[in-house]
Amino acid sequence: MTPEELASTVDGLMDGLRADLVRLAEIPSIAFPGFPDGPVQEAHDLVAELLRDAGVPHVERLDLPDTAPVVYGEIPPPDPGAPTVLLYGHYDVQPPGDEKLWRSPPFEPTPMGGDGDGHGDGLRARGIADDKSNVIAHIGMLRAYGGRPPVGVKIVIEGQEEYGSAFDGYPPTDPDRFACDAMVIADLGNLRPGTPTLTTGLRGAAEVVVEVRTLDEPRHSGEFGGAAPDALLVLLKALATLHDVHGDVAVEGLRREAWAGTSYTEEEFRALAGVREGMPLIGSGGLGERLWSGPAITVIGLDAPGVEHAASAVVPYARAKLNLRFHPRQDPVEARDRLVDHLRSLRPFGVPLTVTPGDTGPGYEAETGGPAYRAALTALKEAWGKEAAYVATGGSIPLVNGLAQAAPGAEVLLFGAQDSMCNLHAPNERVLLSELRDTVVAMGAFVREYAAAAHGSDGGRA
């Protein structure tokens, strides 16, 4: 299929893909505790139905303990020399949060109309970008080839990615099922609309809890303040050592490198982060280094007396929960332990801290330069008409490491229909139909180019 034929075919499919995206996004498939199971099952069944209708001959359901069902499908390679590509996405979504902040009901997919971000037509709904647009992009590629792409295909659409599940560690226990030559992990997208983007790294994550107990109970601040050890002051003194005067992480042994790829402009980042006017950004160096190839420590929770009902008393107990993000190639336990050791070495005002290591998850850095990577670069340029940018992300996709362990020789490609301005996990999440269309074209061009490389041909390009 030539680039012109592929583009024309995808354009003809877009009305149907849009309709199916609306059907899928109408389902409140939230796999968090406390939400009903029915919509999750409904979304699973719809994805399986769409895959069968797209020509996938083998579609099955994988059930693991305490985990939403996984949709698994296979299309055998068209010939012995064709490579196999694994396509990944997820059908579950984040909870909508405060529905008063939405411009329209979160599970009523709504055209953006005049309240968009100036980038074109789109749809607004919870999960419509993350990750249902990418599920539909996979289906669009299969439809473009009539269910007979020039590569073998394995399809993995899970249903509990947002909350986490036993499936994260499952692939290495069943490597034959996930064996492939390349993977397209479609759970992210472009740096900005219209800029084709390959994500080459994912920062790792860890959590640590630090607490201080200094008194049996609160004591009058007038009678005892100034000598009695204040637990909150001790904790704040400890937390202040985690960053230097510029806002850079000051914990020794956490890996940091310059970022050589593309990044946001400062204006884009300020707008995306909602930084208030007049507020400086913290840290030094490029934004890519601060966000992707260097560490970040955030205080994500603090237990201390609230201001509204505060008593005039020395605080006997305080606790904080820290979230650490670290370089994609740093060992997760090593990174977490560097933070733990730093905190345990402190004695603010002579008071020891109780430090409890929490969960940790590895980052990921893709190997680039192989045939799948080269095919992806060609495909992204074909779809968007410009060279691809390279970025990383501070978020994590735990299953990526499990899939990479199951198929250690496979190239891992991360791209998709989202963009950094789509408000994923936030109110008024949206997807641009132009990004969805171009992602389907890119996926179709990728499998064509990758198959051609395996056969030593030009991929049918004119």
- Cβ contact 285:299 at 8 Å: no
If you write DSSP's letter for every residue of 375-415 in order, what string do you get?
Answer: HHHHHHHHHHSSPPEEEEESS--HHHHHHHHHSTTSEEEE-
Residue 288 in any domain: the answer is: no
- Please state the length of the chain: 462
Clarify whether 303 is annotated catalytic: no
Rg of the Cα atoms in the chain: 24
Q: How far is the C-alpha of 343 from the C-alpha of 330, rounded, in Å?
A: 19
Residue 278 in any domain: the answer is: no
* 117 confidence band (pLDDT: 50, 70, 90): low
Question: What tens digit of pLDDT does each residue of 355-381 get?
Answer: 999 999 899 998 888 999 999 999 999
Residue 208 in any domain: the answer is: yes
Q: Which domain holds residue 33?
A: 3-202+363-455
The secondary element (H helix, E strand) that includes residue 46 is helix 38-53
- Are 104 and 28 found together in one domain? yes
Max CA separation in the chain (angstroms): 86
- Are 49 and 193 found together in one domain? yes
* Active-site entry in 20, 92, 289, 435: 92
* Active-site entry in 161, 168, 230, 419: 161
If you write DSSP's letter for every residue of 253-307 in order, what string do you get?
Answer: T-------S----HHHHHHHHTPPTTPPPPSSS-HHHHHTSS-EEEEEEEES--S
- Are 39 and 19 found together in one domain? yes
Amino acid, single-letter form, for residue 23: R
Clarify whether 161 is annotated catalytic: yes
For the segment 414-418, the average pLDDT, to the nearest whole number, is 96
- Are 166 and 101 found together in one domain? yes
Amino acid, single-letter form, for residue 381: K
Residue 263 in any domain: the answer is: no
- Are 216 and 353 found together in one domain? yes
What's residue 459's pLDDT?
60
Residue 337 in any domain: the answer is: yes
Question: What tens digit of pLDDT does each residue of 19-50 get?
Answer: 999 999 999 999 999 999 999 999 999 999 99
If you write DSSP's letter for every residue of 77-100 in order, what string do you get?
Answer: -SSTT--EEEEEEE--B-----GG
Q: How far is the C-alpha of 344 from the C-alpha of 303, rounded, in Å?
A: 19
Percentage above 90 pLDDT, the chain: 91
- Are 313 and 385 found together in one domain? no
* 397 confidence band (pLDDT: 50, 70, 90): confident
> What average pLDDT is seen over the chain?
95
Question: What tens digit of pLDDT does each residue of 153-168 get?
Answer: 999 999 999 998 999 9
* 394 confidence band (pLDDT: 50, 70, 90): confident
Percentage above 70 pLDDT, the chain: 97
Q: Does residue 116 surpass a pLDDT of 80?
A: no
What's residue 72's pLDDT?
98
- Are 151 and 222 found together in one domain? no
Q: Does residue 119 surpass a pLDDT of 80?
A: no
- Cβ contact 156:86 at 8 Å: yes
Q: Does residue 399 surpass a pLDDT of 90?
A: no
Closest CA to 174 of 51, 72, 47, 85: 72
If you write DSSP's letter for every residue of 163-183 in order, what string do you get?
Answer: T--GGGG-GGGSHHHH--SEE
- Are 8 and 107 found together in one domain? yes
What's residue 462's pLDDT?
44
C-alpha distance across the termini of the chain, in Å: 9
What's residue 461's pLDDT?
54
Q: Does residue 113 surpass a pLDDT of 90?
A: no
